[in-house]
Amino acid sequence: MRGFVHLHVHSEYSLLDGSCRVKELVKKAKEENMPAVAITDHGVLYGVIDFYEACVSEGVKPIIGCEVYITPEEYTKKGNKNQILYHLTLLAKNEKGYKNLMKLVTLSHLEGFYYKPRVDKRILSEYSEGLIALSGCIAGEVPSLILLGRHEEAERVALEYRDIFGKDSFFLEVQKNGMPQQDIANKGLVALSKRTGIPLVATNDVHYLNRDDAFWHDILLCVQTNSSLTDENRLKFPTDEFYFKSAEEMERDFKDLPESLDNTLKIAEMCEVNLQFGKLHLPHYDVPEGYDLHGYLVYLCNEGLREKFGENPPSEVIDRMNYELEVIKRTGYSGYFLIVSDFIRYAKSVGIPVGPGRGSAAGSLVAYLLGITNLNPLQYGLLFERFLNPERISP
């Protein structure tokens, strides 16, 4: 058996469209002895963390992706409800690709949303690094043009996508789902691949786990479109082939295009995104030349010490400051104090009301010296350890 990896999969987070529960999806991939599996929900990354954790738990390699909507117009301009939107499958190769994917999805919602979250090729080009693109289902731009008989234009667009993502990072997506239009598109895609050298990749546009789930998926679409099962004109998938097929089934379906199966494994090898949880990721804070983060924090504390206690501060104040600074350094929170001090100082400078201090932060002398709080903790017998201590590294 050649082996196969599903690279186009809609989970429950493709709201009212995908019906694959994330944990069940990953377990299915493991049961089918697939080394990896992708998540490519419509225009969102809602399910990525649940998916990633499930994959790690089951020992299956997670491939993080998204099926984005491409508008031929400027993505920030509103079109009309019946605007043309093309599908494009994006997969993150690495951390840079994951960040770019998050950026694209964010922009599609904040700046490009009009009925659906949209991006255009200009913004794709700007954030293409680290991404692999598949040409999509028959709603993709390339297969759509093929179905319209506009083969030269389809070739031009395919080459345009290859230029955007790179020679080794754009693939023509072929599917075998029993739809006559898909068969026509496949024929054109195979011919296009031969003319351009753009490789083929097999997917199944998975929307549910098992063939029998097609009925329940149909009900889900009825909910989405406010239709009933008796409505013959409702939105409905024309076949029951959009399930999580086994590698054997995919090899049977694509026996005439074995390279498209091999390329699923190749792409899976190319994708390596490692997410870290439980680790603090603070924003970058620029310090003056000659200082590191902690050194600059010490400098500001000494400035605050002179400002609040004069040139000869009590020894208990100096000892408390040095103790707190040592704990802050040991726990890696120097940048945290600098960042909070920065935005508190800014708020006060523009007249935004800031309270005198609340919660356990009031127990920090460093916070007082930086102007984060207005309370001297020594005056009230407040404990710094209530806010931060080496045994509980989280403020």
Facing residues of 119 across strands?
Answer: 70
Residue in the block written with tokens 């074995």: 258
Query: d(Cα 368, Cα 284) in Å, to the nearest integer?
Result: 23
Is pLDDT of 215 > 70?
Answer: yes
- How high does pLDDT run on average in the chain? 95
Is pLDDT of 392 > 70?
Answer: no
Is pLDDT of 11 > 60?
Answer: yes
Token code pair at residue 38: 């992708």
pLDDT at position 198: 99
Is pLDDT of 395 > 60?
Answer: no
pLDDT at position 77: 87
Whether pTM exceeds 0.85: no
Residues 254-293 have pLDDT tens digits of: 999 999 999 999 999 999 999 988 877 788 899 999 999 9
Query: d(Cα 52, Cα 32) in Å, to the nearest integer?
Result: 18
Residues 162-186 have pLDDT tens digits of: 999 999 999 999 999 999 999 999 9
Residues 301-357 have pLDDT tens digits of: 999 999 999 999 999 999 999 999 999 999 889 999 999 999 999 999 999 999 888
Q: Does domain 22-270 bear CATH number 3.60.15.10?
A: no
pLDDT at position 129: 98
pLDDT at position 235: 87
Query: d(Cα 263, Cα 267) in Å, to the nearest integer?
Result: 6
Token code pair at residue 318: 């100096």
Is pLDDT of 393 > 70?
Answer: no
pLDDT-derived band at 144 (thresholds 50, 70, 90) equals very high
Phi-psi map region of 372: left, alpha, beta (phi>0 left; psi -120 to 50 alpha):
alpha
Q: Where are the domains of the chain?
A: 22-270, 293-386
Q: Are 242 and 206 in contact (CB under 8 A)?
A: yes
List, in sequence order, the alpha helices (H) in the chain: 22-31, 48-58, 95-110, 121-126, 141-147, 151-165, 180-196, 214-225, 247-253, 258-270, 293-309, 315-331, 334-349, 365-369, 377-380
At 88, phi and psi to the nearest 5? -145, 130
